[in-house]
Amino acid sequence: MTKATAHSISPSERDAMRDAIDRALTAQTETGKAGIAASIIRDGSVIATGENEVHLQSDPTQHAEMVAITRAAQALNTTDLTGCTLISTLQPCEMCLAAMRFAGISRVIFAATQDHVAPKYFVFPHLRIDDFQRGDGFTALGGIDEDRILHLYATGEE
């Protein structure tokens, strides 16, 4: 994983991250749960957004990233999301990273990094984001505005 800098992400990616963080903070304030928010962007435009719906849907697969991927596929009427970037407030877990790869998403930008959050967010801690980056152009940029959101995920006691 690469630590992102202001020069490594576009203005639209930066805006999408700020929006996702604002949505996550709002979700945490309104529900008392740790808010996690994601967006899918293509060519500088937001295609879809999602928030964590695990408890709302009683479905452990409804992570914010999965919700955003589903909505983007529906909005574009295709399961091929090649050319899209996923933005998330939390480093995507192993399930979400696999779903991204199956959808053809080859770029992810996130705020809070695995090394700085509670272990509960990663079921297979030995499987790292670097494992998803090997060989085929997958880019992961983390730590964007991490200081704004880290407190939501630090203890895992949402």
Q: Which residues are catalytic?
A: 65
Q: How far apart are CA 55 and CA 106, in angstroms?
A: 28
Decide the pairing of beta strands 37-42 and 45-51: antiparallel
Query: Is residue 108 a contact partner of residue 128, using CB atoms and an 8 Å limit?
Result: no
State how far the Cα of 100 lies from the Cα of 156, in Å rounded to an integer.
24
* DSSP notation for 63-86: -HHHHHHHHHHHHHTSS--TTEEE
Edge-first strand order for the sheet with 37-42 is 2-3, 139-142, 107-112, 84-90, 37-42, 45-51
